[in-house]
Chains A and B, each alone.
Chain A
Amino acid sequence: MRWVNVRPNRRSAVLLGTLPLLVALIAYLFASTARHAANPSDKILPTPAAMVEAMHGLLFEVDPLSGHVIFWADTAASLERLGLGLGICALSALLVGMVLGVLPAARATLGAFVTTVAVIPPIALLPVLFIVFGLGETAKVALIVVGVAPFLIRDLADHVAALPEEQLIKAQTLGASSWQLALRVALPQALPRLIAGLRLSLGPAWVYLISAEAIASDIGLGYRIFLVRRYLSMDVIIPYVAWISLLAIAMDVALMQLSRRAFTWAHEGRR
Chain B
Amino acid sequence: MSALLTFDNVWLEYGDKVVLERVNVAIVEHSFVSIVGPSGAGKSSFLRLALGQEAPSRGRILLDGKALPPECGPDRGVVFQRYSVFPHLTALRNVMFGQECANARFTARLFGAARRRAAEEAAAMLTEVGLGDSLDLYPAQLSGGMQQRLAIAQALMARPRVLLLDEPFGALDPGIRQDMHRLILRLWEEHGLTVLMVTHDITEAFKLGTRVLAFDKRRVDPHAPHRFGATAVYDLPLKTRLPLDTPETSVSITIDRISNNLKG
Instruction: Decide if A184 touches B100 in the complex (CB within 8 Å).
Output: yes
Number of residue pairs spanning A and B whose beta carbons lie under 8 angstroms apart = 88
Q: Does A118 contact B (CB under 8 A)?
A: no
Instruction: Decide if B101 touches A166 in the complex (CB within 8 Å).
Output: no
Instruction: Please give the number of chain B residues whose Cβ is less than 8 angstroms from any Cβ of chain A in the complex.
Output: 37
Contacts of A268 in B (CB 8 A): 138, 140-141
Q: Does A180 contact B (CB under 8 A)?
A: yes
Instruction: Decide if A183 touches B108 in the complex (CB within 8 Å).
Output: yes
Q: Select the stretch in A63-71, A85-93, A104-112, A171-179 that faces chain B.
A: A171-179
Instruction: Decide if B140 touches A174 in the complex (CB within 8 Å).
Output: no
Contacts of A171 in B (CB 8 A): 86, 97, 101
Q: Which of B74, B97, B105, B138 has the most CB of A within 10 A?
A: B97
Instruction: Decide if B108 touches A176 in the complex (CB within 8 Å).
Output: yes
* CB of B125 to closest CB in A, whole Å: 13
Cα(A172)–Cα(B89), bound, Å? 16
Instruction: Decide if A174 touches B154 in the complex (CB within 8 Å).
Output: yes
Contacts of B87 in A (CB 8 A): 189, 265-266
Q: When A263-B88, A269-B140 are in contact, do A169 and B108 touch as well, CB less than 8 Å?
A: no
Closest to B76 in A: A173
Q: Does A164 contact B (CB under 8 A)?
A: yes
Cα(A176)–Cα(B98), bound, Å? 7
Q: When A174-B97, A175-B98, A183-B108 are in contact, do A169 and B138 touch as well, CB less than 8 Å?
A: no
Contacts of B53 in A (CB 8 A): 169
Contact of B84 among A170, A172, A264 (CB under 8 A): A170
Q: Does B73 contact A (CB under 8 A)?
A: yes
Contacts of B80 in A (CB 8 A): 166, 169-170
Query: Restricting to A15-63, which residues have a CB under 8 Å from any CB of B?
Result: none
Instruction: Decide if B138 touches A174 in the complex (CB within 8 Å).
Output: no
Instruction: Decide if B74 touches A164 in the complex (CB within 8 Å).
Output: no
Chain B, residues 47-74, CB within 8 Å of chain A (1/0): the string is 0000101000000000000000001111
Q: Does B158 contact A (CB under 8 A)?
A: yes
Instruction: Decide if A175 touches B158 in the complex (CB within 8 Å).
Output: yes
Instruction: Decide if B86 touches A167 in the complex (CB within 8 Å).
Output: yes
Cα(A185)–Cα(B93), bound, Å? 12
Instruction: Decide if B101 touches A180 in the complex (CB within 8 Å).
Output: yes
Q: Does A203 contact B (CB under 8 A)?
A: no
* CB of B246 to closest CB in A, whole Å: 30
Contact of A164 among B83, B102, B108, B158 (CB under 8 A): B83
Instruction: Decide if A172 touches B83 in the complex (CB within 8 Å).
Output: no
Contacts of A164 in B (CB 8 A): 82-83
Q: When A184-B108, A185-B86 are in contact, do A175 and B102 touch as well, CB less than 8 Å?
A: yes
Contact of A174 among B83, B101, B105, B106 (CB under 8 A): B101
Contacts of B84 in A (CB 8 A): 166-167, 170
Q: Does B230 contact A (CB under 8 A)?
A: no
Contacts of B229 in A (CB 8 A): none
Q: When A164-B83, A265-B87 are in contact, do A170 and B141 touch as well, CB less than 8 Å?
A: no
Q: Does A188 contact B (CB under 8 A)?
A: yes
Query: Restricting to A214-271, which residues have a CB under 8 Å from any CB of B?
Result: 263-266, 268-269
Cα(A174)–Cα(B87), bound, Å? 16
Cα(A169)–Cα(B71), bound, Å? 9
Closest to A267 in B: B140
* CB of A211 to closest CB in B, whole Å: 38
Instruction: Decide if A189 touches B108 in the complex (CB within 8 Å).
Output: no
Cα(A166)–Cα(B53), bound, Å? 11
Instruction: Decide if A175 touches B73 in the complex (CB within 8 Å).
Output: yes
Q: Does B144 contact A (CB under 8 A)?
A: no
Contacts of B97 in A (CB 8 A): 171, 174, 176, 184
* CB of A109 to closest CB in B, whole Å: 21
Instruction: Decide if A169 touches B100 in the complex (CB within 8 Å).
Output: no
Q: When A166-B82, A268-B138, A268-B140 are in contact, do A173 and B88 touch as well, CB less than 8 Å?
A: no
Q: Does B77 contact A (CB under 8 A)?
A: yes
* CB of A140 to closest CB in B, whole Å: 36
Q: When A166-B82, A265-B138 are in contact, do A174 and B88 touch as well, CB less than 8 Å?
A: no
Q: Does B160 contact A (CB under 8 A)?
A: yes
Contact of A169 among B78, B88, B141 (CB under 8 A): B78
Cα(A170)–Cα(B53), bound, Å? 11
Instruction: Decide if B155 touches A173 in the complex (CB within 8 Å).
Output: yes
Interface residue ranges, B against A (CB under 8 Å)? 51, 53, 71-74, 76-78, 80, 82-89, 97-98, 100-102, 105-109, 138, 140-141, 151, 154-155, 157-158, 160
For the complex of A and B, list the 6 residue pairs with the smallest distance between their C-beta atoms, beginning with the closest: A164-B83, A174-B98, A172-B72, A175-B74, A166-B83, A180-B108
Supplied contacts A164-B82, A176-B97, 7 more A-B pairs, CB within 8 Å = A169-B51, A170-B155, A173-B72, A173-B73, A174-B77, A266-B87, A269-B140
